[in-house]
Chain A
């Protein structure tokens, strides 16, 4: 394991991208930071810039307007970068899949700019904070294999 990868999985920094969510998933992401769930004990912290981030926590359906911006944010994130597609909408556009304003799904949009992207799916509407912690733990396990 490279030194950088070893260091990386000790301290995953998270950037939160809202790609057209209803805010319910965002509230659950916020709950991760509260003392009850406290992801900082796992070395994770929310940061204010994708250039500082190792994990993109993407919520929302990925609308036509946000799709190019999501791709831009992904490209600005240093690699290796784990994408957490949080919620039914980010997984497969949920109930909005046949609406006129849909872009591609989050995974398709990101794989269009990087076919090798690491994408973890967290289903639920909204997913529980425990589910997001489980996804982050799986992401850390995956980073060990790099």
Chain B
């Protein structure tokens, strides 16, 4: 079976093709469609609808989500695993600049809750209507508004200062660290 959606050149083949076809016009671009791996970009305004459709499919599971700092904003990738078929379908949503916001799917998929918090911590993507957007993995002394996995963040030079020592500061740890790096 091989069909082509209007406006999209990649032929939809096999099980992954069926999944992407079922999403209909939510899909705006297909980057890859192989027998067991599919990557498609979906309409940023309709992420919740896409998540509902995917979770309603038989055998689907939100395996994880990842974020990438790209030129136009932050790409949020939801990886859906279909274990009976051994396939993985990735749905890309762009959280566009300047507000880097995208609708949270945690309201309909509870499994997305923590991974969206992590993307907010590390990349600064904003998830609209997220049920519990507290800090998840950065440490307590980390300043607000510094996102360590952005491409503009230098892992050594841009590190925030360490929390103060517990006792009278005989040694300034921050000074030592500057000298080392």
Contacting residues, chain A, for B158 (C-beta < 8 A)? 100
Contacting residues, chain A, for B2 (C-beta < 8 A)? none
Contacting residues, chain A, for B142 (C-beta < 8 A)? 64
Binding site for A on B (CB under 8 A): 138-142, 148, 153, 155-156, 158-159, 162-163, 165-167, 169-171, 173, 176-177, 181
The yes or no answer to A77 lying at the interface (CB within 8 A) is no
Q: Look across to chain A and name the residue whose beta carbon is closest to the beta carbon of B148.
A: A100
| Binding site secondary structure of chain A | mixed
Contacting residues, chain B, for A51 (C-beta < 8 A)? none
The distance from the CB of B134 to the nearest CB of chain A, in whole angstroms, is: 15
8 closest pairs, A vs B, by CB?
A: A65-B139, A100-B148, A71-B166, A112-B171, A64-B139, A104-B173, A113-B167, A112-B165
Contacting residues, chain B, for A113 (C-beta < 8 A)? 165-167
Residues 73-102 of A, flagged 1 when their CB comes within 8 A of B and 0 if not, give: 001000000000000000000000011111
- Tell me the complex Cα distance, A103–B141, Å: 11
Of the candidates A101, A108, A112, the one having the most CB atoms from chain B within 10 angstroms of its own CB is A112
Report if A100-B171 is in contact (Cβ < 8 Å); known contacts: A64-B142, A71-B165: no
The distance from the CB of A30 to the nearest CB of chain B, in whole angstroms, is: 26
- Tell me the complex Cα distance, A74–B160, Å: 24
Binding site for B on A (CB under 8 A): 63-65, 67-68, 71-72, 75, 98-104, 108-109, 111-115
Contacting residues, chain A, for B173 (C-beta < 8 A)? 103-104, 108-109, 112
Partner of B166, one of A65, A72, A101, A104: A72
Contacting residues, chain B, for A111 (C-beta < 8 A)? 171
- Tell me the complex Cα distance, A37–B105, Å: 51
Q: Are B170 and A112 in contact (CB under 8 A)?
A: yes
Q: Are B167 and A75 in contact (CB under 8 A)?
A: yes
The distance from the CB of A9 to the nearest CB of chain B, in whole angstroms, is: 27
Q: Are B170 and A101 in contact (CB under 8 A)?
A: no
The distance from the CB of A46 to the nearest CB of chain B, in whole angstroms, is: 24
The distance from the CB of B174 to the nearest CB of chain A, in whole angstroms, is: 9
The distance from the CB of B124 to the nearest CB of chain A, in whole angstroms, is: 14
- Tell me the complex Cα distance, A71–B170, Å: 13
Report if A75-B162 is in contact (Cβ < 8 Å); known contacts: A63-B139, A104-B177, A109-B173: no
Q: Are B155 and A71 in contact (CB under 8 A)?
A: no
Q: Look across to chain A and name the residue whose beta carbon is closest to the beta carbon of B172.
A: A112
Q: Are B140 and A108 in contact (CB under 8 A)?
A: no
The distance from the CB of A107 to the nearest CB of chain B, in whole angstroms, is: 11
Partner of A115, one of B159, B170, B177: B170
Q: Look across to chain A and name the residue whose beta carbon is closest to the beta carbon of B141.
A: A64
Contacting residues, chain B, for A65 (C-beta < 8 A)? 139-140
**Sampled A-B contacts (24; CB under 8 Å):** A63-B139, A64-B141, A68-B166, A71-B165, A71-B166, A75-B166, A75-B167, A99-B155, A100-B148, A100-B158, A101-B148, A102-B159, A103-B162, A103-B173, A104-B177, A111-B171, A112-B170, A112-B171, A112-B173, A113-B166, A113-B167, A114-B167, A115-B170, A115-B171
